[in-house]
Amino acid sequence: MLRFPLRLTAELTRARLAQKSHPALSAVRFVDAAELLHHHANQPISHERIREIISSRSPVVWIGGSEPLDHPGVAHLVRAITGSGRFVFLETDGTTLRRRIHEFQPLPRFFLTVRWDAGPRLPRSKSLQPSSSELAEEGVRAAQLSGFLICFHARVHAQTELAAIAELIQYAHSLDVDGIVVSPGSAGSHRTVPDAAALQRKTAEARKLIGSKWWEFFSRLIDPVVNGERRALESPDESAARVEPEVPASGEGVRVA
């Protein structure tokens, strides 16, 4: 059973209450690694931006954008943000995770978040060169053995069947990950309004398969932040869920971390 960190529960609840008097406050802050880090530098180059992130009131920082593990200084960035008391979700495709894992420290506020597109899993490669999914799975297992918290980020696309999404979530459970979030894939400029609405409905159905009300809630919370855009079409209920998602009433599945 997936468990949601009790400390994160409390901080998200406080952030939600604070939004009533400060509507501009966001519970989740998105950081594009490429904006802070240089490919050839071991330290983040924008100390001003780091100080600004640390001084913000957002309890969660999601590091994504162009593959963060391509940047040598990303471990330093994670240490700086977690050291300020924020929860950090570092999103990666996982292909270089096993090689880079030694640069990080397993912390209760740090989730290595492996991005995975929903769809049929390919059979194991027979070639000497492992596939990207095999590399990601190896990275996940290596990280778990080292004591890291793992979150699966399943992305839903318009052509994805709900059965494939269910299979992916079941696969995540089989790996005994600590969290699962589900979000729609990038909308793209070519998508029509009906397509966007259909994708939102499919994503909502997929989130019900997670098996945790709190991770389902967190998925809705990070959606507009991770995707970097507000959808062109939202029903009033969907819009309200993004601005102020409903917090699960019970503490089921919550753990201290």
- Per-residue model confidence as pLDDT tens digits over 45-60: 667 888 888 888 899 9
pTM score of the predicted model: 0.85
Q: How far apart are CA 131 and CA 22, in angstroms?
A: 46
Higher per-residue pLDDT: 187 or 219: 219
Q: Which two tokens stand for residue 11?
A: 């901080």
pLDDT digits (tens, 9 = 90+) for 187-218: 554 556 668 888 999 999 999 999 999 999 99
Q: What structural domains does the chain harbor?
A: 4-119+130-250 (3.20.20.70)
